């Protein structure tokens, strides 16, 4: 695959779907024939695939509306350093029976795919991703960022039930929000880019072992975003 520079000579990213990479970070962007096309990002144990227009405009608008209204979203609490704190977002968990998920001492039991229209929508998206990557996902975590005050801090999706090298497929719907990654061994080595409505990020192989990611607060953003992270629960 052809090597593609991440920046124009003046340091401006080539199109709003391409990432900004900190100096000294040895990663390579493979095969984007034009801004807005899918690409692969590898290096420093990172293995990402990015599809900026994974969902059609008609479907992504309809899915966002459906999931905003009917997906059992609730604001939960996390236990951090012994303190119970409200999550800065709303969440819901869907998937196969008995495929529970635990993070930050919060246990989530699955809503059935067939329990609501939202579940059917989540299943449609899952089936589309399954065909793309030739893998059968079992579950999905919904994160609802109500506005720019909602966020998720630095973390890796590396819980034991996800297996040794988790395969994560992340779909963005609604407001465009910044998505950051950083090396666990050197927090100055960072990748940032804005995820568009209807896009798909795939994180696989050793990515969760060596990297963290976050959705930072963007206080000027007033619109909502929904993120769907499809996972295989062992």
- Classified as helix, coil or strand, 141 is strand
Contacts of 213 (CB under 8 A, 6+ apart): 154, 155, 156, 179, 180, 181, 182, 203
Dist. CA 2–CA 62, nearest whole Å:
36
Is residue 41 within 8 A of residue 18, CB to CB? The reply is no
- Classified as helix, coil or strand, 207 is helix
Tell me how many helices (H) and strands (E) the chain has.
Answer: 3, 18
Dist. CA 29–CA 27, nearest whole Å:
7
Is the CATH code 2.60.120.590 the one for domain 3-231? yes
Dist. CA 76–CA 79, nearest whole Å:
10
Dist. CA 191–CA 42, nearest whole Å:
12
What is the pLDDT at residue 67?
A: 96
What is the pLDDT at residue 4?
A: 38
How does pLDDT run along the chain (234 residues), one tens digit per residue? 333 344 333 333 344 578 999 998 999 988 765 667 899 999 999 999 999 999 999 999 999 999 998 889 999 887 778 888 899 999 999 999 999 989 877 888 999 999 999 999 999 999 999 999 999 999 999 999 999 999 999 999 999 999 999 999 999 999 999 999 999 999 999 999 999 999 999 999 999 999 999 999 999 999 999 999 999 999
Instruction: Specify the pTM.
Output: 0.91
Q: Which two tokens stand for residue 106?
A: 């919060």
Burial (Cβ within 10 Å: 0-12, 13-18, ≥19) of residue 121: buried
- Classified as helix, coil or strand, 83 is strand
Residue holding tokens 């695939």?
A: 49
């Amino acid at each position: 695959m052809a090597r593609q520079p991440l920046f124009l000579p003046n340091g401006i990213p080539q199109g709003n779907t391409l990432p900004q990479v900190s100096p000294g970070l040895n990663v390579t962007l493979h095969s984007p024939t034009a801004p807005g096309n899918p690409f692969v990002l590898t290096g420093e144990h990172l293995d990402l695939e990015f599809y900026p227009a994974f969902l059609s405009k008609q479907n992504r608008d309809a899915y966002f509306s459906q999931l905003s209204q009917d997906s059992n979203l609730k604001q939960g609490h996390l236990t951090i350093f012994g303190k119970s704190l409200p999550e800065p977002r709303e969440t819901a968990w869907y998937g196969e029976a008995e495929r529970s998920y635990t993070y930050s001492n919060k246990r989530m039991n699955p809503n059935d795919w067939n329990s609501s229209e939202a579940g059917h929508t989540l299943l449609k998206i899952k089936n589309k991703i399954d065909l793309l990557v030739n893998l059968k996902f079992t579950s999905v975590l919904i994160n609802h960022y109500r506005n720019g005050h909602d966020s998720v801090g630095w973390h890796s999706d590396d819980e034991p039930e996800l297996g040794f090298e988790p395969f994560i497929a992340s779909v963005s719907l609604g407001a465009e929000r910044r998505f950051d990654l950083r090396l666990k061994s050197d927090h100055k080595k960072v990748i940032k880019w804005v995820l568009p409505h209807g896009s798909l990020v795939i994180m696989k192989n050793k990515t969760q072992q060596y990297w963290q990611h976050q959705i930072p607060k963007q206080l000027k953003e007033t619109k909502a975003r929904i993120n769907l992270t499809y996972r295989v629960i062992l």
